[in-house]
Amino acid sequence: MDPAEPTSASGVVASPAQAGAATTVPSRLGYFRWAICGLLLLGTTKNYMDRNVLGVLRVTLQHDLGWNEIDYGNLVVVFQAAYAVGMLVMGRLVDRLGTRVGYALAMVFWSLASMGTAFCSSLASFAVSRCALGFGEAAVFPASIKAVAEWFPKKERALATGIFNAGTNVGAMLAPVVVAWISLRWGWRGAFIGIGAIGFVWLVFWLMFYHKPEEQRRLSKAELDYIKSDPQETVQVIKWASLVPLRQTWAFGVGKFLIDPVWWFYLFWMPGFFQTKHGLSLTRIGPPLIAIYVIADIGSVVGGWISSFLIRSGRTINAARKIAMLICAIGVTPVVYAYRVESTWSAVLLIGLAAACHQGFSANLYTVTSDMFPAEAVGSVTGIGGMAGAIGGLLIASVVGHVLQWTGSYMIPFGIAGSAYLVALAMIQVLSPRLEPAKIN
């Protein structure tokens, strides 16, 4: 970020009082930026509905197609591998094409891939479909984080990120209900087609409303000035290779590598966990999963709000982000006991608390990319970190699949889930102790 002092329109260095006045929220500012955040929320919701269909139908497909736990784990590995490659490619593509076009193309691609799963009948064909889905879905976070960097000043970015990131929970929450309803009427193939087709409805609204702030005619001048109230960065072409050696890039990447696998574990194995360990049928897993993701939604927004509140209270960005992440990392730890409790709803509360803390931690981790990098690099850095997270998810998928096949116990996966965040925060602190802006050559 440009460390220069704020200047007035005439180019004269502004006094502290003037600088403070420039960032004060006008009484009649406008809220169009939050409508954009709503679009991002809906896009993330659709993304997670698509990827969660397989997890909801896991037991059904294992029964109908004769898969075992390792077969299912291998499908998750294929998705994760494609997601890892896609993160790298899609992050760069979004930076090249821009948020509007890049996100739109990705939505079309992964929606078609989701619908195409309905025509699969073998493990190999499912693997091809999941590969295409993972590659396309990888665009959602690079595009969304870049959109937040374009549409929000720094003091609101963590909250905006927390809100759109809540779509991961909304999508995972809606999937069991909608998938069960569709599959009972039109079979599991109908579920893939129905969920995938929703993307084309979202696409209409995206193309209608999303432009850069300075190109959006519905935006008031006061709101545009507020969005642009941070010291402006010099626009530059940033090479991908120049980002890889930076400690800031590694701080984000290592954090994603350690925490993302935990979320993949919840996403792909919790429906089966409640079916096999707590005896719930496909039609009865909805309420526990909904409860988990409602709690997680609260955590996503609250986690983002905490750091935004701390910044408004005078804390530095570095302190605000890391205090919020520390609170979340500590809150995750009780989940190590989730595999031992007999009560379904006790397990729901433990996993829900952990999922909420994951989302709060994740909202702040995503936001540090726009704290440390200029907008032109945010998509690429998010893609690099997302690739690291997907590689971690690939590894955890293999571990969980084999552990469950060999032992039938969830002890090791939940043990990893309870400890990963404290390790991640420690590594972030080592690699970027002050979250200082990256010096890009």
Residue spans of the chain under pLDDT 50? 1-27
Contact 52, 191 (CB under 8 A): no
The vertex-298 CA angle with 302 and 375, nearest 5°, equals 55
Q: Within 10 A of 362 (CB to CB), how many other CB atoms are there? A: 29
| pTM as predicted | 0.69
Contact 36, 143 (CB under 8 A): no
* Per-residue pLDDT, 24: 46
Q: Alpha carbon 136 to chain centroid distance?
A: 14
**CA 40, 41, 46, 47: dihedral to nearest 10 degrees?**
70
Rounded CA gap, 206 and 211, in Å?
9
Q: Within 10 A of 236 (CB to CB), how many other CB atoms are there? A: 10
Contact 133, 114 (CB under 8 A): yes
Residue with tokens 């909202």: 363
Structure tokens at 48: 């997670």
The vertex-40 CA angle with 424 and 427, nearest 5°, equals 10
Contact 41, 167 (CB under 8 A): yes
* Per-residue pLDDT, 233: 60
Structure tokens at 406: 């060999």
Contacts of 135 by beta carbon, 8 Å cutoff, 6+ apart: 82, 83, 85, 86, 89, 90, 109, 110, 113
* Per-residue pLDDT, 237: 65
Rounded CA gap, 377 and 248, in Å?
12
Contacts of 330 by beta carbon, 8 Å cutoff, 6+ apart: 422
- Name the nearest CA neighbour of 75 among 5, 133, 147: 133
Q: Locate all alpha helices (DSSP H) within 220-285, ordered by sequence.
A: 221-227, 247-276
Q: Within 10 A of 319 (CB to CB), how many other CB atoms are there? A: 15
Structure tokens at 441: 């050559």
Residue with tokens 């945010």: 378
Rounded CA gap, 311 and 321, in Å?
9
- Name the nearest CA neighbour of 255 among 369, 160, 398: 369
Rounded CA gap, 48 and 50, in Å?
5
- Name the nearest CA neighbour of 203 among 108, 138, 113: 108
Rounded CA gap, 424 and 325, in Å?
10
